[in-house]
Structure formats: structure tokens, C-alpha cells
Amino acid sequence: MSTAASALRDDRLPLNFTVNGRARSLRAEPRTHLGDVLRDTLDLTGTHLGCEHGICGACTVLLDGEPARACLTVSGACAGADITTIEGLDDDPVAGELRAAFNREHALQCGYCTPGMLIAARDLVLRLPDADERRIRAGLSGNLCRCTGYVGIVRAVRSVIAERRARGIGPTTGGQRGLGPVGARLGTSSGTASDAARTPLRPVAQAETAPSIADLDGDFVPAHRFDQSFTVAHPPDTVFALFGDVEAVAACLPGAMLTGQPNPDAVEGALQVRIGPIAARFRGRARIFRDEAARTGRILGAGSDAGGRSATQGEIRYRVGPGETPGTARIDLAVGYTLKGPLAQFGRPGLVRDLAGRLGADFAANLEARLSGAPAPAATGLNPLRLLLTMLTTSLRRRLAAWGRRP
Amino acid sequence: MKPARFAYERPGDLSALLARLATAEGSVKLMAGGQSLGPMLNLRLVEPDLVLDITGIPELRRASVEGETLVLGACITHADIEDGRVPDLTGGVMARVAMAIAYRPVRNRGTIGGSLVHADPAADWVTSLIALGAEVELASTSGRRRLALEDFVTGALDVALAPGEMLVAVRISALPPGTAWGYVKHCSKIGEFAHAIGAVRIEPHAGRGRVVIGAIERAPLVIPDASDLFGGRIGPDFAERFDARAADARLREAGMTDAVDRYVHVTVLGRAIAQAAAAPPSLTPTVSEAA
């Protein structure tokens, strides 16, 4: 949540571009995408917004004459661009033929997808060599319609292509335009290189919205499981003894930080993880069980991220056994976890496994170093000290939300 | 579905951009076409303090041929490659990959550099350019370096960029004459991220073959010498000699435990190999589902 101060701060930037042939000057926040600028500032509500992450195609407009997603084009990125919306195609001959064909073939019902559909269809009419149904269907795959079943739409597009080619109008090649993203001007330094960016962007006060500490479900059944193992060049007894030292284990785990006083069977803390540009910080507590005789253990934990939108529960079972050569130990981990809330829509357990693999490798290296009496090597991504420093100086308010699969 | 606040700057030249990248406080994301970062911003999976738009920089929007190497600036779009606005030293291989990426409106803004830095394991360029043996050129205020793409992509969404460093260009060597190429991906819907990708680059007369298996939710599996997938020897009859069990074993070694997943990936790889054998070496197979 923004503080009052940041909510009131006006960080809109001047923006000049051409829309439907008319020069427009306005101000827009950097985070506002072109779809919202068109609809909310210029009242061009023919551009529809559906998924807002590039899948549905409802917001498709022309940038410099080529179709592009308005929802994935931030306002500043189209400074100087030539934008055409569905309203600007009233007198366009291809759009006119398509409107007639859509009408004739019953190619719309609710009409929500239609503006984007017409712009995508117009692009196909211009570019496809002939009225090949497969290529038309493939070309329209980035525009979703939930009413028509597409049959009428495809028929309409086919008929327009066939008629135009029959009239001797050939396809265009798109060969002449400049290189790089459509709508993006060269050289111009739009946006501001000064004030807004160089002032602290988020007040430190808002940085740590402490999440409530999640607790464990008694009847936890993990949705995802994976196994992992690694070896260290130290005897199993030494390794197992170290695993009993909660602070030592946390110090070896990149991104882990303990809060409060740990005791041998319960711990509170935070774990910051990164998957590419996504960063999440989970706070929670864990219970620890150890079986000295079998040299096995079980850690059962739950946490939620700072925004409180995602929660996780997990269980790590570990076993410390002898390695292949005497004096070495092999550690087998069985990890089970469940994600709830928006992060669950991330939907790609493999990415979590990959992350865990890399975390595990760092953990093993740090563990090895610690057992050898060396200071733990600075982790490449995160280490608790750097994490603490970062926390004191900048915002750590990072939340995770849904991430559907997308291109 | 609206991004959190961020500051936005659009430097006009590379030195200004690198200087800004080196000194900016807080979290900074570079943005090219925004077709990968945009959704993550909209979904608030990523909340940078500052977005630096790199599309205003002329150097990043150039394409050139240096000897036998094609050099593409980071901001060259998929559509630029699809439409042939950039030179080609791969016999149409790159255009064929480009034209099947996502959808045309995405290809008109999505860039080759952005795709590689985002390093989604299911993205087309990550796997196909590793198979082509591409290099990336990285720049920071302290200089430039080159890295083989397979060393640049270190994991799912993870690359070997140092702080203050950015990808400025991709370098792709010409495919030698007589090279057989196959690239097949499996998607349940056209334009979505692939569930399995197979890329093969085979020089039957030199007895060499390079195989890359992608969309495995980690960095692609690179088999630089794939002769053991072909019974120990690569020749003009490589397609008949493809040993699916050897490929399955490689995937199992790489940690793919699910037998169905392995089956899908091996099948897709087998199709890529069949495609490589069917297409005339180094000629443009232009047949595509995509438009």
C-alpha cells in the first residue's frame, strides 16, 4: 500500500504522440500502459482491455502502422509514435471491407474482442499471400473470442483476402520499416533523466510492512515434491551435528534470516528467494524434529509473503549418511511444498525445482566452507548481511502475484 | 493488473545508459520491447524502482555482418528477423524460428536481446541460438566481454549478467554449407510457451552434431557432441540411426524424473531430427504454421 505522501506525488511525465492522425500532448504516469492512456485520457474506448498480459489480443492497436499490444507498451515507450486505434480505421479501405465481411458472416457476438480482432485481421489481409485457412487461424491465435467459435471470423477474413487477391492486390512485405520495436523512436530521450527517478522512490517507512506470521496446518499434504542430494567432505556425524545448530544452518542458506531467539525445535525467520526478476520474501515459522539415532530430521514450516497475497507450507526431510569415500557425507533431502494464493498461478513447479537446485548448491558450498572453518563464501545472489543492509536502506516490499503462462 | 509505481527513463545513447545503470539506486530493470517484462510488471511479479528503456539507442537497433558472423543489436525484433529486414547467414533458420514466436503484435515489439536476458527456459531463442552456437556481447562502464550463450543462460530466468552489465548484441556464426538443421517445439496452443523444444544442428559429412533440448524448466540441456544419440557415429543416415533410448537416458541424467515428460521431449527431438534430415541442408524451409 502506498503511503499518503507517495499517493499524492505526481510523477506523470509529458507525452507527445500522434493518435489517429492528430497530434496529442498529455501527461501520463510511467507505469500507465498505452491502453489506459487511450481509454482514460483520450476517451478512445474502442480499444478494449482483457487479460492485460499480452494473451487475449483485445487491446491490439497499430503502432507506426503495425499491430502491437497496447497493454504491454508503457506510455513513455510510445513517445513520438504514430498510433492508430479502431476509431482511426473508419475510412481505411481494408478495415471497411472487413467490417462488411464480419457483418455478413456473423463474425461477432458480444463485440468485446472485435476491435483487436479487426486490427489483427487487417494485418493478415495485408500480409498473407493467399486465403489459406490454416495460416489465418494461426495468425488469429493471438486474439481470443469467447463467443463465436471463430468460424465466422475466419470465413470473413478469408473472403476479404480472396476478394482482394482476385482484384490483383498483392500482399505487402513490411520490408521498409526501421529496425527495432515498432513505436519506439530512436535517440529521443523521453521520460525524465532527473527528478522523479533520482529522489528516493519508496519512502523507507513503507518498506517493511511486516506480514503476520503464518502458522502450520496440522494435516499438511504437499502439492509438489522433489528430491535433492549433495555430498560434503566431512564425516556424517559432524554434518548431522551442524544441522542441529539452527543458526549455523540459516547462515549457510542464501537469503535466510532468523528473527527472534531460535531454539532447537522451533524457529522464526524469513527467506528471500529470487527467480529471475521475481523476488519474494516469506516470513514464517518452522518446527524441527530430529532423530539422532537414524541421523534424520524433519523441518515443517509455513510462511507468507509481505503483501500477504501468497502463502507457502513446506516440509523438508533430510538424512545424513556416509558418502562414497570415507570421511564424507551424503545429504538426501526430500522437499514437499504447497503454494497458495496468487503465486500458485505461477504454475511452473519446475522453476521452483531449478531454484531449489541452485539454492542447494550454494547451501552445500557454504556448509562445506563452514565445516572447514572458513568464513562462508559470499553468496552470489543474496546473503543475510547484504539482505539486512538492503533492508535498512531500500524498500523490500516485494510481492508475488499470479503469473499465467504467456509468450 | 496495473504495475506498481516506477520511475522511467529513456537514455538516448549507450554511454549514458551504462552510466545510469552503474549508479542507479534501488532495483533497476532494463526494458526493450517489454513483451516479457510487461506482463510481469502488470501482474506485479516484478516491482522495479526504475525502468530504463533501451530502445532509443541507435547502436542496439543495428544489424551487421562481420566476416562470417551476423551481429544483431539487442533491440532487433522477432519481426525484423521474420521479415528479413536483417541479413541472414543461417539459410533462413532464424526467420523460421522467429515467425513462430508468440503472436505478430508481440513479435513487432519483442526483441532478441530481451528474450535472451529474460531467459525463460521455454523461450525459442534460448534454445535455438544455443544450438546455433551464438555468443552474446555484454557491456558495462568497465568494458565489454563476450560469452557463449550456453554459459550466459545459467538457469530458469537466470543469466550471467554482472551488476551494471547489459546485453548489447548477439553474435551468430554462419552455418557451414551442408549443415542440416531441425527445430521443433510442442505447444498445445499456437503462440504459447513451448512444453518441449528440440533443436539439432548436424554436419553429416564432418560427422558432427549438436543437440539442444529446451523447455525443461532449467537451462537447456546442451549435447555438444551428440554422436552417442546416433549410435556413436554421425553420418548422412543420422535420422535412421537416432537412438531414442540414449536421448531418454540423457534426460534422466539431467534430472527429468517424469517418464511422460521425457517421452514428450524425446518425441519432439525425434521430430527435429527428422526435419533436419528431410530439409535440404542449409536451404530455407519456409513452411510454417505461423503467419
Residue B86, Ramachandran bin (φ over 0: left; ψ between -120 and 50: alpha; else beta): beta
B44 interfaces chain A, CB cutoff of 8 Å: yes
The region of weakest confidence among A135-144, A217-226, A241-250, B75-84 is A217-226
Contact between B161 and B117 (Cβ < 8 Å)? yes
Write out residues 211-240 of B within 8 Å (CB-CB) of A: 216-218
Question: What single-letter DSSP state applies at residue B72?
Answer: E
- Provide the shortest C-alpha distance from residue A156 to chain B (in Å): 17
Contact between B159 and B116 (Cβ < 8 Å)? yes
Whether this model's ipTM surpasses 0.95 comes out as no
- Least CA distance to A130: which residue of chain B? B291
Residue A405 reports pLDDT greater than 70 = no
pLDDT (0 to 100) of residue A218: 64
How far is Cα of residue A170 from the mean position of the Cα atoms in its chain? 40
Q: Are B291 and A135 within 8 A, CB to CB?
A: yes
Contact between B277 and B239 (Cβ < 8 Å)? yes
- Nine-digit cell string for B238: 543420422
pLDDT in tens, chain B (291 residues): 799 999 999 999 999 999 999 999 888 999 999 999 998 899 887 889 999 999 999 999 999 999 999 999 999 999 999 999 999 999 999 999 999 999 999 999 999 999 999 999 999 999 999 999 999 999 999 999 999 999 999 988 889 999 999 999 999 999 998 999 999 999 998 988 899 999 999 999 999 999 999 999 889 999 999 999 999 999 999 999 999 999 999 999 998 988 999 999 999 999 999 999 997 654 443 333 344
pLDDT (0 to 100) of residue B192: 87
Query: What's the pTM value of the predicted model, to 2 decimals?
Result: 0.84
Q: How far is CA B48 from CA A153, A394, B162, in A?
A: 40, 12, 17
pLDDT (0 to 100) of residue A60: 98
Residue A299, Ramachandran bin (φ over 0: left; ψ between -120 and 50: alpha; else beta): beta
Residue A52 DSSP SS3: coil
Q: How far is CA B52 from CA A377, A396, B7, B63, in A?
A: 32, 20, 8, 22
pLDDT (0 to 100) of residue A345: 57
Residues of A in contact with B155 (CB under 8 A): 354-355, 357-358
B32 interfaces chain A, CB cutoff of 8 Å: yes
pLDDT (0 to 100) of residue A340: 73
What percent of the residues of chain B are helix, what percent strand, and what percent coil, each to the nearest 5? 30, 25, 45
Q: How far is CA A286 from CA A227, A292, A315, B23, in A?
A: 20, 19, 9, 39
Closest by CA to B120, choosing from B201, B44, B185, is B185
B244 interfaces chain A, CB cutoff of 8 Å: no
Amino acid at B37: L
Q: How far is CA A323 from CA A88, A332, A358, in A?
A: 71, 11, 21
The more confident residue out of A91 and A350 is A91
Query: What number of C-beta contacts closer than 8 Å exist between A and B?
Result: 285
Residue A277 reports pLDDT greater than 80 = no
Residues of B in contact with A391 (CB under 8 A): none
Give dist(CA A183, CA A64) in Å, integer. Answer: 6
Residue B32 DSSP SS3: coil
- Provide the shortest C-alpha distance from residue A2 to chain B (in Å): 9
Give dist(CA A64, CA A15) in Å, integer. Answer: 16
Contact between B107 and B78 (Cβ < 8 Å)? yes
Q: Please name the member of B31, B34, B192 whose beta carbon is closest to the beta carbon of A407.
A: B192
Closest by CA to A359, choosing from A375, A382, A336, is A382
Handedness of CA A25, A29, A33, A39 (dihedral sign): negative
Task: Classify strands B196-203 and B180-186 as parallel, antiparallel or unpaired.
Answer: antiparallel
Residue A203 DSSP SS3: coil
pLDDT (0 to 100) of residue B215: 94
pLDDT confidence of A276, banded at 50, 70, 90?
Answer: confident
Length of chain B equals 291
- Cβ contacts of A91 within 8 Å, gap of 6 or more: none
Q: Please name the member of A142, A187, A276 whose beta carbon is closest to the beta carbon of B102.
A: A142
Q: What is the DSSP string of A142-179?
A: TS--SSS-SHHHHHHHHHHHHHHHHTT-PPP---SSPS
pLDDT (0 to 100) of residue B84: 94
Q: How far is CA B203 from CA A353, B92, B132, B200, in A?
A: 35, 17, 12, 10
- Least CA distance to B220: which residue of chain A? A354
Q: Are B108 and A63 within 8 A, CB to CB?
A: yes
Q: What is the DSSP string of B115-183?
A: HHHHT-TT-HHHHHHHHTT-EEEEEETTEEEEEEHHHHEEETTEE-PPTT-EEEEEEEEPPPTT-EEEE
The CA-based dihedral angle spanning residues B148, B151, B154, B159, taken in that order and rounded to the nearest 10 degrees: -40
Determine the residue among A135, A179, A389 to mutate to test chain B binding: the one whose Cβ has the most chain B Cβ atoms within 10 Å: A179
Q: Are B289 and A196 within 8 A, CB to CB?
A: no
Task: Classify strands A13-19 and A82-84 as parallel, antiparallel or unpaired.
Answer: parallel
Residue A229 reports pLDDT greater than 70 = yes
Contact between A288 and A299 (Cβ < 8 Å)? yes
The residue behind cell 471463430 is A150
Task: Classify strands B166-173 and B69-73 as parallel, antiparallel or unpaired.
Answer: antiparallel
Average pLDDT over residues A288-304: 89
The region of weakest confidence among A120-124, A212-216, A394-398 is A394-398
Residue A208 burial (C-beta neighbours within 10 Å; 0-12, 13-18, 19+): middle
Residue A22 burial (C-beta neighbours within 10 Å; 0-12, 13-18, 19+): exposed
- Nine-digit cell string for B152: 550466459
- As a whole number, the mean pLDDT across chain A is 81
Question: What single-letter DSSP state applies at residue B103?
Answer: -
